[in-house]
Structure 1
Amino acid sequence: MRMAETADNAGTAPGSAPGTPPGTGGGADTTARASGATGLRKASWKHIGPGIVVAATGVGAGDLVATLIAGSKFGYTLLWAAVVGCLVKISLAEATGRWHLATGRTMFDGWRSLGRWTSVYFGIYVVVWGFVYGATAMSSTALPLAALFPGMPGGLKTFAIAAGLIGLVLVWFNRYHRFEKLMTVLIGIKFLIVVYVAIRVVPDLPAAFAGLVPVLPDGSFLYTLGLIGGVGGTITMAAYGYWVNAKGWTDSSWMKVMRLDNRVAYLTTGVFVVAMLIVGAELLHASGIALASGDRGLVDLSDILERRFGTFTAKLFLIGFCATSFSALIGVWHGVSLLFADFVERLRSGSESRAEEVASGAREHTRPFRAYLLWLTFPPMALLWLNQPFGLVVVYGVLGAFFMPFLALTLIWMLNTSRTPGAWRNGILSNSMLAIGGLLFVVLCVQQVRELLW
């Protein structure tokens, strides 16, 4: 049976040369896309970018603290679950990017081809989710800043509002390429700091390798599901295809490049998660120390680090915490605004949404893009006065759980039908990973709703 992964070996389409930009060479590009046989560009590290953005956006403070708590309760035993989570997300992001490149159409255009219900679902979801996420992201960024500068008038609210406004300005006035450079700096900061902290606690390498063997200790089932399902993003997974197009990758000649980019993204994500699991296992599990749930747990960790390693390490960790939260904030401000702009433009025009439109940067100038930016920034500020930033994290987690089953199952539908050129449809591996992910996210969604209601 053909596997989508083997399509890397496809030959060059007649009349087209490898690396030919879309729209050149007459009808060769259209023919090549339809046949799935366009010449593939050589995968090169110099092209990497959208994967860095999705890794910086997808791993927020909530992911880090959930991993910390798992490490504090079970040591290295659930390390294998973090690895499986990365593999599931690699499959999801690869499928998203493959849809954009193989078809030349956007994710929302694919959803719309499945029926009107997808537009209704997405429209309601993106409005409600954005309102809650805006407050969650601003509060999460404010927590480490308030700990670093405790004397600031207004405390948490002042820092939260400032984070939202700075994110708004950075995305409003910068196009994708500058945004990517900023995200690269932020992910570099948090990568170095998290790895530094993991090295400081001196990992038990034999125990870590033993944790790669799948084991479920008593009481670990829900933590295991959380680790697998929570590694790296919710709705931002769908934004990956838009960032791929914004980078200028608009046809299947970029498939190898996209796959390398995606693997680097989730290798980076895996390092984050493993590093935080090491910190939880070595610093907390061995000492029997419990952390608060939600982002507050990272502030607690900075206090523990200060007692153990001194003020410098504690302050450095808070800077990494801030970079983690702020990169997630501006990643959503940009990526989900692209999704929303595509959603509105397609409803207005009724025409197909093409990858070239996203690549041109035109989407970032539209009123729907900027309207959603404002929606993410200003209305959620009202929630800051509820004085329950950690409750917002819980509600956000539940809303996020509703999107991932939708994404996984619709990708299976879109990538196994004539909507996708034959050479780029799912194979056994892709279908298996997406099905496992979809089932997992359904279970997580049901569990999180139960926790919220009962």
Structure 2
Amino acid sequence: MSAENATPDRADGFNPPTRKPSWKMIGPGMVVAATGVGAGDLVATLIAGSKFGYTLLWAAVIGCIVKIALAEATGRWHLATGRTIFDGWRSLGPWTTVYFAIYVVIWGFVYGATAMSSSALPLQALFPEVMPLKVWAIITGLIGLLFVWTNRYAIVEKIMMVFVGVMFVVVVYVAVRVSPDLGNAFAGLLPTLPAGSMIYTLGLIGGVGGTITMAAYGYWINAKGWTDSGWMKMMRLDNRVAYATTGIFVIAMLIVGAEMLHSSQMALASGDKGLLDLDKVLEKRFGEFTAKLFLIGFFSASFSSLVGVWHGVSLMFADFVERIRAARVGASDAGALEVARGDRERSAPFRGYLLWLTFPPMALLWLDEPFGLVIAYGVLGAFFMPFLATTLVWLLNTSRTPREWRNGWISNTLLITSGVLFLVLCIEELRDLPW
């Protein structure tokens, strides 16, 4: 998705050797995909399937392509320039630093409670008499904190790959059990817009797997040891395999919604609790084993998002603090980057943000409706993906990026299209708020 190969745009004329892509090295893409797909995305996909059957299947496919383009652009920036995405944002002006500082603090506070509650729901359903939902939520948050605090990226990647495997096997298994209508499924690949489907279509294209964690992809590939443009082919293989897996996962959820809910016109509860409704339907139709298996998949989707955010966004925050400190003392970009790559997962900013994600949000577990924070979270969350798409177009079409790795027309088209799409979703998010 980059421009054609050209003469190296490096001051020393040196190009790093190209590493041969290997399936054995796939990992960071799976981490970002698993982190981005949470319980809320599963419910949104199920609802789309329950309302419109297979009609919007094409939107799920396009959504997968959009995410590949965004993640590829983020990874390409890190590998081509040797700079982090936050370093790139800083080069666009101080407004990006102000935006990110406000966003990451408020978003982390509210997301922490959301992630813990989402992970607790399937556990309470699996073990209803053991302890209250709030206690389960606190336990999942503490386990996520302890795991990320004591392990480095390599171990985080391994556990996330396990979660991806469980999610994938469970959801595809359930999709096969409901006996999909393959004729209607293939027909759903033809773009159509039934009446009242616009918002669901936009949600399928833009919502599944699209969060701040997409910006963390570059940090994860650096943590993997991919630090220069010689890893570009490996990064692209990693990214495409991960989002192809996510696409199959989303299509499987749409099939479940179309086959089990659309025909019976059953409505799911809003939010993550909608998955508990599906659990009851599965138990009635296929028995307790399938229902329990689905709850395990539900937990894998929720807890993988928690672990991914605890690690990935903490890396971003640590980089943010390091860059601010470097600017204050007048350190060079190269020096700041060297410090950042040294031991970021053990740094005070990394661990400080881990604590921020875990302990303050626990207070929200006792509030039925944290109204003001939910509004702030919705507004800032809606603005992040247009911000990411727009800044990537800006960074990857200018002299900030070596000429060889600047955007080609395919990447520009996909990024601009996704930026417009996310802007529309942002406006809809604002319109839905109870002003």
Q: Same fold (TM over 0.5)?
A: yes
Report whether the alignment pairs 1:365 with 2:320. no
Shift of 1:4: 1.4
Query: What is the rounded CA distance, in whole Å, between the counterparts of 2:302 and 2:218 in structure 1?
Result: 22
Identical counterparts, % of pairs: 71
- Secondary structure of 1:4 counterpart: coil
- The TM-score with structure 1 as length reference comes to 0.91
Q: SS state of the match for residue 376, structure 1?
A: helix
CA apart distance, 1:302: 0.2
Alignment partner of 1:210 out of 187, 204, 215: 187
Going from structure 1 to structure 2, the CA distance change for 1:389 and 1:40 (only over 3 Å counts) comes to farther
Instruction: Kindly provide the CA deviation profile for residues 75-103 of structure 1, in whole angstroms up to 9, marking residues without a partner as x.
Output: 00000001111111110000000000000
Q: Does 2:71 match 1:93?
A: yes
SS of 1:233 mapped into structure 2: coil
1:276 maps to a residue whose letter is M
Relative distance call for 1:393 and 1:199 in structure 2 (3 A) is farther
Judge conservation of contact 2:20–2:233 (CA < 8 Å) in 1.
Answer: yes
Alignment of structure 1 residues 294-333 onto 2, 5 Å: 294-333=271-310
Give the equivalent residue in structure 2 for 1:120: 98
Task: List aligned pairs for 1:437-452, cutoff 5 A.
Answer: 437-452=418-433
* Residues 228-286 of structure 1, C-alpha deviations (whole Å, 9 max, x = no match): 01121310000000000000000000000000000011001101100000000000001
Give, in whole Å, the separation in 1 of the partners of 2:141 and 2:415: 34
Retained in 1: the 8 A contact 2:3–2:406?
no
How far 1:395 sits from its partner (Å)? Answer: 6.7
**Separation in 2, partners of 1:285, 1:144:** 24
| 1:131 equivalenced with 2:109 (yes/no) | yes
Corresponding residue to 1:224 among 189, 197, 201: 201
Q: How many residues align?
A: 430
TM-score by length of structure 2 reads: 0.95
Specify the alignment match of 1:403 in structure 2: 384
Q: 1:419 aligns with which of 397, 400, 405?
A: 400
Change (3 A) 1:32 1:404: farther
Q: 1:4 aligns with which of 2, 5, 11?
A: 2
Q: Secondary structure at the match of 2:227?
A: coil
1:17-36 alignment, distance < 5 Å: 31=12
Check conservation: 2:3, 2:404, Cα contact below 8 A. Answer: no
Q: Residue in 2 aligned with 1:268?
A: 245
Shift of 1:390: 11
1:16 alignment partner in structure 2: none
Q: Does 1:75 align with 2:75?
A: no
Pairing 1:151–2:132 present: no
C-alpha displacement of 1:30: 6.9
How much has 1:387 moved relative to structure 2?
A: 3.1
Q: CA RMSD in A?
A: 2.0
- Structure 2: 5+ residue runs without aligned partners? none
Q: Which amino acid aligns with 1:4?
A: S
From 149, 153, 169, give the equivalent of 1:192.
169
1:319-348: CA deviation from partner (whole Å, max 9, x where unpaired): 100010000000000000000000001101
1:276-291 to 2 correspondence within 5 Å? 276-291=253-268
Residue 366 to residue 95, structure 1, CA distance change in 2 (3 Å): same
CA distance in structure 1 between the partners assigned to 2:233 and 2:358 by the alignment = 36
Q: Which runs of 4+ in 1 moved over 4 A?
A: 353-360, 388-398
CA distance in 2, matches of 1:321, 1:356: 39
Could you tell me how far apart the structure 2 residues matched to 1:285 and 1:397 are? 29
Structure 2 counterpart of 1:62 = 40
Distance 1:322 1:110 in 2: 35
CA distance in 2, matches of 1:280, 1:213: 19
Worse-superposed segment, 397-406 or 69-78: 397-406
Q: Which deviates further from its counterpart, 311-320 or 382-391?
A: 382-391
C-alpha distance in structure 1 between counterparts of 2:253 and 2:372, whole Å: 23
Alpha-carbon distance change, 130 to 347 in structure 1, aligned in 2, over 3 angstroms? same
Q: 1:304 to 1:397 in 2, by over 3 A?
A: farther
Q: 2:31, 2:204 → 1: CA distance? A: 21
1:27-82: CA deviation from partner (whole Å, max 9, x where unpaired): x997356xxx5432111101111011111101111111100000000000000001
